[in-house]
Amino acid sequence: MAKVQMQRIYIYALKKDRKPILEKLQRFGVMEVDDIIPEDDIFNKADVSKAKMIFEKNIATASDAVEVIERYVKEKKSLLASLKGKKDISIEEYDNFRHKYSETVQTAGRILSYEKKIAEIKAEINRLEAQTEMLLPWTSLDIPLNFSGTKHTRAFIGCLPKEWSLEDLYAELAEYMPLNIDIISSSKDQTCIFVLCSRTNADGVYEALRRIEFSLPSISTNKAPAEQLNEIRLELNEKRKAVSEAEKAIADLAKFREDLLFLQDYERIRVDKYEVIGRLAQSKNVFILTGYIPVKEKARLEAELASKYLLAVEFSDPADDEDVPVLLKNNWFARPLEGVLEGFSLPGKTELDPSMAMALFYYMLFGIMLSDAGYGLIMAIACGFALLKYRNSMEPSLKNSITMFFYCGISTVFWGFMFGSFFGDAIDVIASVYFGVTNLPVLKPLWFVPMDKPMAMLTFSMALGLVHLMFGLIMKVVQLVRQKDYISIIYDALSWFCLVISCTVLLLSMEMIAESFNLNLTIPPLVTKIFAALAVISALIIEATNGRESRNPFKRLLKGLYALYGITGYLRDVLSYSRLLALGLATGVICNVVNKMASMAGGTGVVGTIIFIIILLVGHALNIAINVLGAYVHTIRLNYVEFFGKFYEGGGRAFNPFKMKTKYYKVKERIENEV
């Protein structure tokens, strides 16, 4: 439950050592680089935009090339491949890549050129296939489609909508006889015709044809359609052959897939390095680099740099107004929730890291919401298997997430047994349907069944919520102690703590409330009077002090009254924990409904047994998916809104070290004096 202490670091070194020093810093990955604004004309900043643009272009080219390869040569991956993390390579392999850097860039370009060639050829194939479709109805015509007649005759070659008979056509053109009409082809959609008439009747024949919606062919050739069609088919064969050759060439280049993936990471590393170069203050012979470093890393880094390069390193505590980055350090129990905390906001400069405090309740709340031992067992086994099998290769962020669900699964198993749910009442259903046994004592609740005692579950949920909220106020007290703001401890934390606890005791002393929650409490009148007095004193403190920043007495009074109205917010927050009851009941009810549906088909032979099993598997799979998601979302909501609302604001900036940020590979280097 701590934030790593940061210090500002300054590095002054010779410009000739800039490249190896930056590469060493990038491999260490423990320093966040900050900007330096030149104060005079001696120091300046380099323009690295062109170099970065080249690197980013290579990344995009290599990425596109890999996508092309994937389309033609699908890489076989297991279902759990995403858990393996990045592939480890040595620093020697990284350094040696420069020897095939140019070749890999050219390979990416070749792959994209083949892909472009394929796209162009396929477009041409589509055009030729369209021409083929247009020529097919004319294959019996032995003259070109653009034939228009002779010296004394006029020819019309074209199409008519729908199907026409020769008699109907002659009837339409009877007044322009003599003429010749041939039907080249016909279908229910169109009729292709050839009309030959004298030049003197050409205009009249054309007008008559237009009246029956005559249209010229959409393709015009100087050769007979059959001859033209043969040439197109030969050309299509050549085009398809060219596509196959290009696809084969891409498939042959698939062996460079790993190099193309590494090229992307290689260029990402260079982009980050040049980004830092653009931030350096440098003169003709020296450069200055500054940023932030964890205190625990500074001695190791200084020793490594000083042993190899002529430079000076300085450290200083950050100024009060500096935006110091935040790096969290937690134990095995709280570390998995760092990602959840970062999803809200990292702690501000003067705030505590609430990861451990959140962990104490997070796993418990999740388990209560899911509250089925069978579901929890599945989660714990699946996550435990993944963590064990890929413990050395899994990415830290993914490992934290899976570890979080592993702990949530263990918590769910615990609360499932407390509430007597193992895939709902599946054991009782199976025993009843297939063995005729009822009321098995195998899985009785260690505490109670929420569906049988919903008010008891509601009472427990709200009580747990109250404890959660009060723990938030305790966290606020601890935070104010660290900030040495002792007045605010009394005015803004302890007063609210006493008021909420006092109001709770007073409510429980009321007979109506006790009966509503089925509580057998007897609070002595003296205790009631003491807590009533404590409530009044706490309310007066809140009313008198929450507007203390204002000098106007009237404004202070109004602000105090408005702050005191916040007691209704505590009531709302406590009621919000009723979602523990709602989600727990939802899981259990759906479990039992699935089991009931399965039992209706069970016990009727092999077919019934198969249906029974299918309903159980599908129903419980859907139920666990829906309710795990619901428990995850609502647990986060209770922490973000109710718990954090009592003491936590966030606003911290994550520590962003200058390191080898890669996507596919992890460069490992044995650092001297590494501990």
Measured CA to CA, the distance from residue 368 to residue 493 in angstroms comes to 29
Strands 665-668 and 87-90 turn out to be parallel
CA angle 483, 485, 489 (to 5 degrees): 115
pLDDT tens digits for 249-308? 999 999 999 999 999 999 999 999 999 999 899 988 999 999 999 999 999 999 999 999
Q: Where are the alpha helices (DSSP H) in 145-294?
A: 166-172, 202-211, 225-252, 257-277
Domain ranges of the chain: 2-98+253-316, 146-216, 335-646
**Domain 146-216 adopts which CATH fold?**
Alpha-Beta Plaits (3.30.70)
Portion of the chain with pLDDT greater than 70, in percent: 97
The mean pLDDT value for 497-507 works out to: 92
> By mean pLDDT, which of 227-236, 326-335, 348-357, 505-514 is the weakest?
505-514
Name the strands in the sheet holding 179-186, side by side, starting at the edge strand that comes first in the sequence: 153-161, 190-198, 179-186
- Position 43 scores a pLDDT of 85
Measured CA to CA, the distance from residue 331 to residue 333 in angstroms comes to 5
Spatial CB neighbours of 499, under 8 Å, sequence gap ≥ 6: 535, 538, 539, 542, 567
Provide the token pair at 537: 């004193």
- Position 669 scores a pLDDT of 63
Measured CA to CA, the distance from residue 496 to residue 535 in angstroms comes to 9
Average pLDDT score over the chain: 91
Spatial CB neighbours of 622, under 8 Å, sequence gap ≥ 6: none
Q: Does residue 338 register a pLDDT over 80?
A: yes
More confident residue, 77 or 119: 119
Nearest to 183 by CA among 172, 173, 197, 193: 193
Provide the token pair at 308: 């190899």
- The predicted model scores a pTM of 0.86
Provide the token pair at 104: 């890999």
Measured CA to CA, the distance from residue 306 to residue 512 in angstroms comes to 75
The C-alpha R_g of the chain, in whole angstroms, comes to: 40
Find out whether 543 and 486 touch, Cβ atoms under 8 Å.
no
pLDDT tens digits for 49-99? 999 999 999 999 999 999 999 999 988 877 777 788 888 898 889 999 999
Nearest to 316 by CA among 298, 331, 332: 298
State the pLDDT confidence band at 1, using cuts at 50, 70 and 90.
low
Measured CA to CA, the distance from residue 598 to residue 426 in angstroms comes to 10
Measured CA to CA, the distance from residue 59 to residue 264 in angstroms comes to 5
Find out whether 667 and 86 touch, Cβ atoms under 8 Å.
no
The mean pLDDT value for 556-578 works out to: 88
H or E element, residue 666: strand 665-668
- Position 333 scores a pLDDT of 95
State the pLDDT confidence band at 671, using cuts at 50, 70 and 90.
very low
The mean pLDDT value for 157-163 works out to: 93
Spatial CB neighbours of 588, under 8 Å, sequence gap ≥ 6: 371, 372, 419, 421, 424, 450, 451
Nearest to 650 by CA among 343, 361, 279, 392: 343
> By mean pLDDT, which of 35-39, 381-385, 545-549, 572-576 is the weakest?
35-39
Dihedrals φ, ψ of 218, to 5°? -75, -5
N-to-C CA span, the chain: 22
Nearest to 408 by CA among 168, 635, 198, 220: 635
pLDDT tens digits for 471-484? 999 999 999 998 88
Spatial CB neighbours of 148, under 8 Å, sequence gap ≥ 6: 154, 155
State the pLDDT confidence band at 672, using cuts at 50, 70 and 90.
very low
pLDDT tens digits for 517-552? 777 778 888 999 999 999 999 999 988 888 777 777
Q: 95: helix, coil or strand?
A: helix
State the pLDDT confidence band at 433, using cuts at 50, 70 and 90.
confident
CA 10 to each of CA 7, 296, 302, 342, 379: distance values in angstroms, whole numbers, following the listed order: 10, 16, 11, 28, 48
- Position 546 scores a pLDDT of 83
Helices (H) and strands (E) in the chain, counts: 23, 12
Measured CA to CA, the distance from residue 249 to residue 110 in angstroms comes to 9
Q: Does residue 674 register a pLDDT over 60?
A: no
State the pLDDT confidence band at 460, using cuts at 50, 70 and 90.
very high
- Position 61 scores a pLDDT of 97
Sign of the alpha-carbon dihedral angle for 464, 466, 469, 471: negative
State the pLDDT confidence band at 652, using cuts at 50, 70 and 90.
very high
Please state whether 506 falls in left (phi above 0), alpha (psi between -120 and 50) or beta: alpha
Instruction: Name residue 125's amino acid.
Output: I
